[in-house]
Amino acid sequence: MKGRGVGIVLVLVGLGLGATLLRDQVPVGGAQAPAVGAAADPVAAEAGARLQNEQNTIDVVGRFEPGLVFISTENEVMGQDPFGMFGGSEVQRGLGSGFFVNDAGDILTNYHVVAGESGSGAAQKISVRVMGQEQSVEARVIGLAPQYDLALIRPVGLDAKLIRPIPLGDSDALKVGQKAIAMGAPFGLDFSVTEGIVSSTARQIPIGFSGSGASEGITQKAIQTDAAINPGNSGGPLLDSGGRVIGINTQIYSPSGQATGVGQSAGVGFAIPVNTAKNLLPRLQAANGQEVRAPTLGVTAGLLVRGQQQVLAVGLSVLSSEGKRELELPERGLVIGEVAPGTPAARAGLRGGTRTESFRGGAIRLGGDVITAVNGKPVDALEDLQAGLIDRREGDTVTLTVVRGGESREVKVTLDETSFR
């Protein structure tokens, strides 16, 4: 698995990868309260509280663990032969987790759990196994969302009685310190459970795959938890004390991964907020097996450089300060190359470049706008702009800070149906 970060590695927690209905709150049981008079005894009170918490965890696990799914994938890849003497191929296998979200059998998981060779598209074979069953069944892809690191799959021929959806909660209502229960298959140990707390509700980390040729994901809000999460937990649910899904386990922060290349839990795990998945679910369900992309404004990047294998869109920070002063450009920002007609950007009056200037290793479109911030957050690449749009819906308005002719101003852009095509 490929890590991210500097010094300490941010690791996707799927195993063996080549690239590495809303319901009412379900009440859960608790232990009986201590008898009258026991509260005066601090030892008894502590024991009672401990037992109550334990019983809550037992109840949540007993009711909702059957909704957990063990996922395995297979990709046929060319065999590694440094001398080129032998042909043939080998099967690359991956493991991860997922969970049922509705009675139709739709399973939500991470994109990287079901991704194909080198993290592109879907795996050639996806199989799922539910709790209490020895045999796996094949699953088909309903929708993929690489930028969100989410995917929706559905088992083929699974007995409907085995489909046990887990209710989805509200990640916007989370409080630091509340209980968090992680379910999944760490190191292939399927149907495992760990418990901790919500350590942070708005940690900003790179999630998913940007789609611009870079391996880094789009910076998004994530839930941080100290519930043990390890390789194989990817795609599994993070639950609250009511048994509702509050997040989808996706990555770990691993100091050991820097040295070994294999991340292990250090008490800092991350989950995609369930509200992100809830907003995306209708699009995934209508995707017909295809990819769902983050919303767009209708602009293309105007600063391109030649990478080792392809042309990359980059921000102004890659240019020298002297060159930017000569071109009267800000220190950082996303140069707009073109604005597509009939898009939110066009309706907001944004302008693309009018002339192209080449330089060693790339080219830049000049004469148009430069986006320097979205909703007050700095922008220096397409990924930064996408980060400001990724949790938005049709009809939402974003505020861009735009530099035109050396003057900075704010422009409001409203997303419409064209943003989600």
Q: Which pLDDT belongs to residue 25?
A: 33
Q: Which pLDDT belongs to residue 235?
A: 96
Q: Which pLDDT belongs to residue 386?
A: 87
**Could you read off the pLDDT of 138-183 as tens digits, one per residue?**
999 999 999 999 999 999 999 999 999 999 999 999 999 999 999 9
Q: Which pLDDT belongs to residue 90?
A: 83
Least confident stretch, 30-34, 39-43, 59-63, 152-156? 30-34
Q: How confident is the model at residue 86 (pLDDT cuts 50, 70, 90)?
A: low
Mean predicted confidence (pLDDT) in 393-411: 94
Q: How confident is the model at residue 10 (pLDDT cuts 50, 70, 90)?
A: low
Residues paired with 69 in a beta bridge: 98, 130
Q: Which pLDDT belongs to residue 45?
A: 75
Topology at the third CATH level for domain 299-420: Pdz3 Domain (2.30.42)
> CB atoms < 10 A from the CB of 298, how many?
21
Return all residues near 217 (Cβ < 8 A) that are at least 6 apart. 4, 147, 149, 206, 207, 208, 209, 210, 383
134 or 263, greater pLDDT: 134
Residue 400 is encoded by which pair of tokens? 């861009």
- CATH classification for the domain delimited by 1-34+43-76+90-292, as one of 2.40.10.120, 3.40.50.300, 2.130.10.10, 3.40.50.1370: 2.40.10.120
Q: Which pLDDT belongs to residue 266?
A: 65
Return all residues near 84 (Cβ < 8 A) that are at least 6 apart. none
3-state secondary structure the chain: CCEECCCCEEEECCECCCCCCCCCCCCCCCCCCCCCCHHHCHHHHHHHHHHHHHHHHHHHHHHHHHHEEEEEEEEEEECCCCCCCCCCEEEEEEEEEEEECCCCCCEEECHHHHECHHHCCECCEEEEEECCCCCCEEEEEEEEEHHHCEEEEEECCCCHHHCCCCCECCHHHCCCCCEEEEEECHHHCCCEEEEEEEEEEEEEEEECCCCCCCCCCEEEEEEEECCCCCCCCCCCEEECCCCCEEEEEEEEEEHHHHHHCCCCCCCCEEEEEHHHHHHHHHHHHCCCCCECCCCCCCEEECEEEECCCCEEECCHHHCCHHHHHHCCCCCCCEEEEEECCCCHHHHCCCCCCCEEEEECCEEEEECCCEEEEECCEECCCHHHHHHHHCCCCCCCEEEEEEEECCEEEEEEEECCHHHHC
**Could you read off the pLDDT of 266-308 as tens digits, one per residue?**
679 999 999 999 999 999 999 999 999 889 999 999 999 987 7
Cα–Cα distance, 20 to 41 (Å, whole number): 53
Least confident stretch, 16-30, 44-58, 71-85, 351-365? 16-30
Residues with a known catalytic role: 112, 149, 234
What are the CA-CA distances from residue 26 to residues 167, 226, 240, 356 (Å)?
8, 24, 11, 60
Q: Which pLDDT belongs to residue 390?
A: 87
Mean predicted confidence (pLDDT) in 50-62: 91
1-34+43-76+90-292 shares its CATH topology with 299-420: no
Cα–Cα distance, 247 to 236 (Å, whole number): 9
**Could you read off the pLDDT of 176-216 as tens digits, one per residue?**
999 999 999 998 898 999 999 999 998 888 888 876 544 56
Least confident stretch, 2-16, 20-34, 88-102, 295-309? 20-34
Q: How confident is the model at residue 420 (pLDDT cuts 50, 70, 90)?
A: confident
Cα–Cα distance, 98 to 170 (Å, whole number): 19
Q: How confident is the model at residue 17 (pLDDT cuts 50, 70, 90)?
A: very low
With beta carbons less than 8 A apart as the criterion, state whether 189 and 229 touch: no
8 has pLDDT over 80 = no
With beta carbons less than 8 A apart as the criterion, state whether 370 and 382 touch: no
Mean predicted confidence (pLDDT) in 392-406: 93
Q: Which pLDDT belongs to residue 40?
A: 63
All structural domains of the chain with their residue ranges: 1-34+43-76+90-292, 299-420
22 has pLDDT over 50 = no
